[in-house]
Amino acid sequence: MTEPVSRETPPTPDAARGAFSPAGLDLAERYVAWLADAGVVRGLIGPRERDRLWDRHVLNCASLAEAVPQGATVADLGSGAGLPGLVLAIARPDLTVTLVEPLLRRTTFLEEVVADLGLSGVEVHRGRAEDLHGERSFDVVTSRALAPLDRLLAWSMPLVSETGSLLAMKGSRAAEEVAAVRTLCRTAGAAEPTVVEVGSGAAATTLVRVTWAGPARVSWRTAPGRSPGGSSSGSRGRKRRGRPGS
């Protein structure tokens, strides 16, 4: 049974009308209502974030849609409260989105929101990224401020298809992180990482984009990193914190 959400939600900014279609805007408003009520109550969103849900979170994540190809399959790692995966699914109904999240209370929230919004193109997968290694591949693998880029590459690149890409939402230190992993990418068969700016104003977002160097290089040949969830493959642990919505 879905949980009722409060009507006391942040007002919809004018910028949201440009980020979503009329139908998508209705879904985005309902999603914000979920975040402002059940998301806060269940500890997925900090109470101080309630008044900043649109600008700092939803519109920020909607900017990612500019960089995603038409009809793509997308995996959102460490999806938490659905940022950016659910926002992307709302903004781009042509996409097929898999929300990858190891913690039950978060996947329960995601499943309830997906059902309430009727998002038929969204799948919720309870587990860690490496659970899908060798089993699934995606056109785009994304995440939002989930981990340093070296660890993120180890979790994400085994899921990136031959012609796909990693699109990691990063902050002001994106260029520094890219510089630090150039050698790692060459060794592991990935192309040179690039920094991409999308969106504008308060919704401006910095992405790091990584693709494969070529069809013959589709294999991540480094030691496995620690997965979203905070533990190495085969063990359980607490999920790494450090971002709103995680």
Residue 83 assigned ligand-binding role: yes
Yes or no: say if 30 and 38 are a contact pair by the CB < 8 Å rule: no
Question: Any binding-site annotation on 144?
Answer: yes
Residue 167, token pair as written in the block: 């699109």
| 78 annotated to a ligand binding site | yes
Query: Distance (Å, rounded) from C-alpha 218 to C-alpha 160?
Result: 8
Q: Strand pairing partners for 123?
A: 98
The one-character DSSP state at 243 is S
Long-range contacts of 222-227 (CB under 8 A, 24+ apart): 222/154, 222/184, 222/187, 222/188, 223/154, 224/130, 224/154, 225/150, 225/151, 225/152, 225/153, 225/154, 225/155, 226/151, 227/102, 227/128, 227/129, 227/130, 227/155
Asked if residues 230 and 62 have their Cβ atoms less than 8 Å apart, the reply is no
Beta bridge partners of 195: 208
For 158, the 3-state DSSP assignment is helix
Cβ pair 12, 19 in contact under 8 A: no
Residues with Cβ < 8 Å from 220, sequence gap 6 or more? 153, 154, 157, 158, 188, 189, 190
Q: Which residues are annotated as a binding site?
A: 78, 83, 129-130, 144
Q: Which residues are annotated as a binding site for S-adenosyl-L-methionine?
A: 78, 83, 129-130, 144
